[in-house]
Structure 1
Amino acid sequence: MVKRSKISAIIALTLILTVCGYGFSYAQITSYDMNSYQNYNNNLNTYSTPYNTTGNQSFNTDQIYNPLIGGSSSVLNTQYTMPIPGEQPNASQPDEFNIKNKLPIYVNGDYVEYRTIEEKVVAKGAAEVRHDKMQLIANNIEADLRKELVFAQGKVVYWQEQGGKLKKVTGEFLVYNIKTGDGFMLDAIVYSDPTVTKAKRVELSANKITAPEGVTYTSCDLDHPHWYIHAKEAVIYPNDKMILKSPSYTIFGLTILKLPYVTMNLRRKQEKKFNTNLGYTKPKGFYQTLSWDYDFGDNQVGSLNMENQSAKGYFHNIRHNYRIRDKISGNIYSDYSYDSLRNETISRSSLAGQYQIKNNANLNYNIDYFSDVIGTYTQNKELNSQYNLSYNEQGYDFLVRYKKRNDLSDRPNQYISSLDYTPEINVNTRREKMAKTPLFLSTRSILGTREETIAGTTASRNIFDTQWRVDTERFQLSSQTNLTVDSSYRLRADRENERENILDGGASLTQNFGKNLNANMRYNNTRSYGFYPFQSNRINTQNKIYSTLAYNGDMVMERGTELRSNLLQFYYDYDMNQFQSVSNDMTLTYKVDKFMYHRFYLRASYDYHDTMFSNLFSGSMNLTNMYLKYDYQAGQRINWQTSTTYDRMTRKYQTLNSTLQFVASPFWTVNTDIIYDIPTKSLRNVNYYLVRDLHCMEATLRANPHQKEYYFEIGIKAFPEDRQRGYYDKTSGRIKRVNPGERLFF
């Protein structure tokens, strides 16, 4: 027997016990092995290690402290002999057990002990067990090797991986079968964020959790929740669904709904919905709509939408996402529409996806079909396909691309039947430092062929495009100045009788003026020359400057003023001798204290087209657009934001958008948003919101006098997409739901 107190230990167990621990002066139990267990001496109850030992130590296993049933651990008498491996010279193993092989079960705790005769391991204090895809944490854990059971007591946390996701269950007592993976837990809570399911007893298995004695489902963390669903029995498929027997829905102590059975979807982002609607409008006539969001497991999900209109026609689309054995994934899309007014049918279908050959090799495919038919005349019908085979290494990327577009019309164009056919090879090398130089080199090359079939004649041309880029590391010219330089050469020949050489180079300079002011400037020169069809050889040159002057003031935590500004941003074309874009912006914040501030933001754009670079500060400047915003935060209760824009065409400010939020109390909030039209001096829209925080729920009263709309909304915070909206119907004198066909909170 081995005893360890206040020292973390890891004990790995299989079906038989192996004592291994060269380099330690005490017994180390790391695995349970069938062959080594045969070394037991049945008469002396003695276990011999499968290697030569130099020392022996004896322990009284009957006096071992059991954290589940109690007992004494103070007596260690000489009764059963267990050989201990002697200390090896130059041993460098740490005090923790070093397990190198993959073992089926691990036990860890502040206090770990082994009962030889009973074949049990007990862990106390921050105890942990890991087995396959299961992890267990508790105050006390006992592993019974003979029965292949694990018992856990006190603040038990049980995790198990399922379908790439983890299911979490907590409770006070757990029994787990190592061989089958089944078990049960008392006083259990099953987590499915953001909701929990509480039960007196749950039965655990690899794929589901069963609660035969009833459950309570809620997202409220109070002892007496504001809302909950209680059921007599439940079967939970983590991260999938939950089936409830005889559920009753209770809100604020009032039971409002009882049903014989309910299946609840636990996949909030992939909810299963099937909706249909019938109606009549003058533009559509009688119509019927259908929408279905479906999933057949994690690997097959999609949606179907259909609409049939007596006045216009029929429309549908299907979108399906698929995954096959974690190697193949993609989507299938189909869209069909028939316009009865024009007698026109348009359809499009596509198949796209990726096949992962290896971790660094993939095949991507995309096949697209399109047709447009009016009556019996085919406007267009074509099939597009593209395949990319890519291979990635640390220093380079390799890609083979095949692309083709075919005309499939009933009366194909006699001049063009193959619109495009492109097989090509791409090789890109990543940016690498050149030895003993401050230079970095990267390349990009494309080699391929393009073909077109015109009047039965196939025209083919070769494609060649290569680019070599060299840039430098950052040079620190001074403590305030940094410089980087780059250049590239590109040779391109992707048209018949055309060959173009492109030289590109530039320099980027960063200059700091103290700790708050800095300037960034880049000069770029591009020179292109070569052979061009139907024209003489020419040389094109482009010279451009990009510059930004920025000021970043000191950050203020409590009281003071902060200033952030791009004082000037511009892009200047030297060849055209004009500015293409000039702008600046500023953010000014004045903090009264930690929770109270005034913030002003300004962004403006200017027209400098008739100004040369030498007259930057003296030339004519025309304001084109301007955006203003003011934000006021009064402590933690009041926040007011307002903004407006300036239009250069009308030379007037357009709309004023303003929002106000007032936190009247920890439970009441008043919000309003206003849109004011400055040119017409009239209100466009006004909304008032009165929000009541109900702990796990939230209620909102919304009023829009301008559009004469009044709504009341209530919803569970955990399900914001299922907020229920109602309105007052003057005819019936009742409050009605806006969307009665949708689900009620779950």
Structure 2
Amino acid sequence: MRQVMEGRRDERARLRGDERAREHREERASGRGPGWPSRGQRVARAFLVVGLAAWLVAGLGQVPVRTWGAKAYAQEAGTSPKAVQITAAEGARWEMGQEILEVRGQVTAKYQDLTLYADWLRLDLRQNRLEARGHVRYVRSGQEITADYVLFDLKANQGSLEGARARLELPEKRGTLFVSAPHIGADRKTYTVEQASLTTCDLTTPHYHLDARKVTVYLDDRVVIEGVSYWDFGLPLFYWPQLTIPLRRQSSLELPQVGYSTYDGWFVKMAYSYYPAGWNAHGLFHLDYYARRGFGIGVDHYYRDNPQGRGILSLYYQPNQLTGHDDWTVAWHESWRPDDRFELASTASYKLTEESGEELASWKVDGKAAYRSDRGRFQVSLKQEGVAAPEAGGNPPGGTTGSRASRELRVDGSLELPAQARLEGSAAWRQVQTDEEQERLQYRLGLTQTLPGLRWKAGLEHQFNPNLDQEDQTVDWFSFQRSPYVTFAGSQPISLGWGFRADWEVDLSQVTEAVTATSVNRTWRVAAGLELLNRSWQLRPDLTAQVGASARAKVYGTGDEQASVASRASLIWQPAEALTLTFRHTDQTVFGQSPFYFDRDLPGQLVTLTLDYRRPALTATFTTGYDLFWREVRPVVTEASWTGGKAWQLAGGLVFNPNREGLEAVIGSVRWTPREDRQVEVGFAYAVAAQSWDKLQGRVNLPLAPSWELRSEVQYDGSKQLLTRASVALVRDLHCRNVTFRYDAVEKAAWVQYQINAFPSAQVGVGAGAGGTFLDVQSLRDFLARFASGSLGPGSTGGAGAQ
């Protein structure tokens, strides 16, 4: 018996050993190491999972959706196993021996940054993979793909999608790029699509589409399309070897522009956008053909384009058949703002062409650098432009007769110092070179400190007459200089009793004035002034009185003296909430005379009457007056504006001169904007005395018929007697794209442009540009004020005052 029992134990041990050996061989064959769970562990784990699944299935009748986690053992290098979280609503089945979980009904599976939605899902823990069918949605990195079937490898972190349709959101909410293909391969960072179709049209049968041999989607970066053909109207219209559509910045899908101009004849403009892989750069290649000038090629390269700014290098070359000259254009643009403190912007261009048989070189440089902090600010700007006709000997531009150039440098800054002190200054240098050279340098530098009850300032300054460059004005002084000067003033108004307050100031300076470029006066000046601040009294609930005054005295080293006393008084009557009547009297009496022109005070006495009516929809102002010094009636200025809801806005005004018994100027504007994309605007300014239009503007954007739109714009500058803009366009809306037929009367060119709405063209059409500012209420007032002041007689009061 003992021998029989021992034999049975030996047989059981031998069987266990054979079983362990077999399991060892299976582990080696399957690549599982000794850390893989043993058969007993796996059986226990299977019972645990089955029990959990049974509990979930039993609870489905009471709770619609259950969630559980399963270890998929999709172990990555250096990381721990990741869990797959699964949610389902209808049922679950666990295959105990195969370690397979099947669920169905509103299934959601989450694994790392991947989310799957489906009607049915199968998780294979041994093969480390997920399968999903039925209304599958594959969501990763904010992008979504719908498919009929998905197979996802948890260990490799990549999937295969059959019958797939991807939705890629374009930046700036410009639309959605739809990609469909029989098969899409997807991993964590890319989608790979073979024989794909792409479109931004949201219809079931899209109006247009792109057929591509291969599409690679780099999530959150770009879409690279190879072997692209563009289909519309059932025909293949264009072909590109490769296209790139960025997903983080605005992109353009450039289609040819075809047109005709009187100078160029027929022309075709084509551009190809490129986005080099691995570069934070993109650009446009240009290939143009002009019937009279020939071919032109160029590139706009954006070597940097991010929220901090952009850098652009441009080059364009054309062997001009019309002139026989090689035309070149080179340009550079740079803008950089790394934070709120620092800003850099610069633009430079150089153009070499031929006109009237003479080679012309033109250039332009414009740059600015600025820095600001809590303690101060600093800004420097440079502007230079010119045109030159090099001599036959090939001398460089700028040194020949007939050339013109201008240079301007500006510096401005301030710095906060201890003890409530502040240093601030500015300088501007300008040089203009035509037949003769003109050079100007003006500057201002001052140190200010504020003490209890006192503020002092010391500095230097040199200023030119701001009217020097105005062709229609005469000037009686060229420039003035105060070097040095010291000013003392009260830091707070002083009280004089009876509710009156005043500011005081004393100034000591050495003054130099240039009456002409060669005539100069120089002497010391001491000036003192007292400014009585306005004081108001409420006489009645609807009646208010205001008074104010000032006095100033100046003593010069030449023995000259000048003193002035000015007063102002107003009576404001408001009989109704919307109506205000203001009667104002101003007077200035002058004693003595200054040896300088720039600070000479002039006597005057003026009475004005202003009637102001204001309602939310209607405002109107009437102003006139009488000059008691020169004994003449001031011009009558009337202006009004009316707003009819959000759609209508009307404004107008006129200047009437009683002394000449006629109108001086008339201005008006009409704006109708029923919708943001529908508008009609007309504006004009007419100088009656000169019988000339100062400005004419018009803009129309209206639908003509279903899917047809009219866009037109006209601008005329009367000061230059030049039509600066005149274009008309018909736009045909084709749902997801449009066709524009445009004519520009200034450029004398017409062309056709076809464009996809989601990809606005980066090309600039002939005569294209942003619309100018139309005549609004503020420009109306500025125009009327200019004519009203120009109508004054020789008794215009005022002056530069004490500088």
TM-score, with structure 1 as normaliser: 0.49
Higher Rg of the two aligned structures: 2
* Greater RCO structure (CA 8 Å; 6+ sep): 2
Higher helix share goes to which structure? 2
